[in-house]
Structure formats: structure tokens, C-alpha cells
Amino acid sequence: MIRAIAGVTFRALAGRRRTLLVTLLCSLPVLVALLVRASGRATDLDTVTATVVDRLVISTLVPLVALVFGTSALGSELDDGTAVYLLAKPIARWRIVVAKVVVAAGLAVIVTVPAAFASAALLGSGSTWLPHALGYAAGTAIAASLYVMVFLALSLVTSRALAIGLVYVLVWEGILAGLFAGTRTFSIRQYALGVAQAIGGPATTNGPERLEGMTAIALAVAVFAIALVIAIRRLQSFEVGEAD
């Protein structure tokens, strides 16, 4: 059953227009990395790499892509009423949520991780380029999965998930998170940077002190689990008439 739901979700999310838009977005950091390389810059590349991957990929590209996939995986079906055909069947709600998350998060990871890895690899130098690229790739994968889970749960809580998600990404993750030590605990971006730094080394990230790798992973697992429980409980509370 999970496989069947996942197949339907994949066909719905991997539409031609959405795929083209996401592909164009993912090409931006790679294009910037190519331009930096073409300019002949050979100094302070670690800082440039951290800025490009952090600001363009982890802080901008990943949450936007996850917002598109996460809010569309189930929220769009509830909005247009087609979810009634799924909710009317004797299927455990957790199976529906898991299938939706696996597909949406998988698509987000597939399209964003190569952009992070390629950008870091193009800007890297010496023997450290591979650990840095792998660190950024791992951090991007964690961020993409978490964002999708959070936004999917948000789409089940409110019909304004897209607008609220944009505010969260632009205001909290883009401006406030990371300014103070306490805010890092509630920032998906900071979890990703913490993992990237743990794998790639201190030069992988710039700015204030990052979360330790194990702390970032533990917080990421906790946030994912909380969002998953919220999504399942919220879907369980839906009545067929309400969804219709």
C-alpha cells in the first residue's frame, strides 16, 4: 500500500513544470561556482565555498524546494478535495504520511544534494575538497528531509502553509536564527551546518560557532519525529466530510 501511494505521489510531484522550475533553481549555485572558478580566484576559497553553499543552497534553495514538495505532497490534495478518495479507504494514516514523506523528501534530496556537492567540489582546492563537498552534501540531505517533514505537517495544520513557510524561511532561518546561541537550537539550517562542519571540518562553515555534529543530529531527529507525530495525529483527526 505504501508503494502504491508513493507511486501516485511521485507522479503528482514530479510534473514537468515543477521539475523544470526546480532544475533551474538547482543550477544557480553551480553556475555561481563556475563563474568564481572562471574568474581565476585562488585565495580564500573556503570562505567563498561556505558562503555559496550556505547562502544559496542550504539557506535558500533547500527550503524553497522542500516548501514546494512538502506542501504539495498532501496539502494540495486536501485543498482540492481529491484526498477524500484516499482517506475513505481503510488505510492506516501513518502509512499515508510515511509514503508522502518518503517521496517528497526523496525528491528534495535528489535535486538539492548534487547542487551542494557540485558547488563545493568546483570551488574546492587541495586535498580538502572531497570532505568539504561530502559534508555539505550530508548537511543538505538532512536539511531537505527535515524541511519537507515540517512543511508537510504544516500543510495539515493550516491551509496557509505556503505563506507561513515562506515567512519562516525568510525571517527566521534567513535573519534571526544564528544571531544568538539559543536560536541555533530551533534552526534547521543550523543543524545542516553543524553536520557539514562535523564531516568537512571547521573550514566548511563561516560565521558564528556552529552546533556540534552529534547535537545537530540529535536535534534533527527530534524535530523530524515531532513533525511526523503531528502530521499523523492531524491526519487521523480528519473526517471524510471535512476533507471533501
Share of the chain above pLDDT 90, in %: 36
pTM of the model: 0.89
How many helical (H) and strand (E) elements, i.e. helices and strands, does the chain have? 12, 0
Torsion angles phi and psi, residue 26, rounded to 5: -70, -20
Q: C-alpha distances in angstroms, 174 versus 7, 52, 138, 235?
A: 34, 14, 20, 30
Amino acid identity, residue 211? L
Q: Do the Cβ atoms of 144 and 114 come closer than 8 Å?
A: no
Q: Which region among 51-60, 141-150, 223-232 has the lowest average model confidence (pLDDT)?
A: 51-60
Rounded to the nearest integer, the mean pLDDT of the chain is 85
Find, among 121, 125, 116, 145, the residue nearest to 56 by Cα. Answer: 116
Arithmetic mean of pLDDT, 3-22: 83
Residue 242 or 65, more confident: 65
Question: Does 202 score more than 70 pLDDT?
Answer: no
Rounded to whole angstroms, how far apart are CA atoms 57 and 30? 10
How high is the pLDDT of residue 243? 44
How high is the pLDDT of residue 88? 75
How high is the pLDDT of residue 171? 86
How high is the pLDDT of residue 150? 96
Q: Do the Cβ atoms of 194 and 211 come closer than 8 Å?
A: yes
* 88 exposure class (CB count in 10 Å sphere: 0-12, 13-18, 19+): exposed
Share of the chain above pLDDT 70, in %: 87
pLDDT tens, 88-131? 777 888 899 999 999 999 999 999 999 999 999 988 777 778 88
Q: C-alpha distances in angstroms, 78 versus 96, 161, 165, 239?
A: 13, 12, 17, 11
pLDDT tens, 151-198? 999 999 988 888 999 998 888 887 777 676 677 788 899 999 999 989
Rounded to whole angstroms, how far apart are CA atoms 219 and 148? 16
> For 32-40, which contacts have Cβ atoms below 8 Å and span 24 or more sequence positions?
32/56, 32/119, 33/118, 33/119, 33/122, 33/123, 34/122, 36/122, 36/123, 37/122, 37/123
Rg value, the chain, Cα: 19
Q: Which region among 44-53, 59-68, 72-81, 131-140 has the lowest average model confidence (pLDDT)?
A: 72-81
First to last CA, the chain: 22
How high is the pLDDT of residue 36? 87
pLDDT band per the 50, 70, 90 thresholds, residue 22: confident
How high is the pLDDT of residue 153? 94
pLDDT tens, 63-100? 999 999 999 888 767 766 667 767 777 788 889 999 99
Question: Does 240 score more than 60 pLDDT?
Answer: no
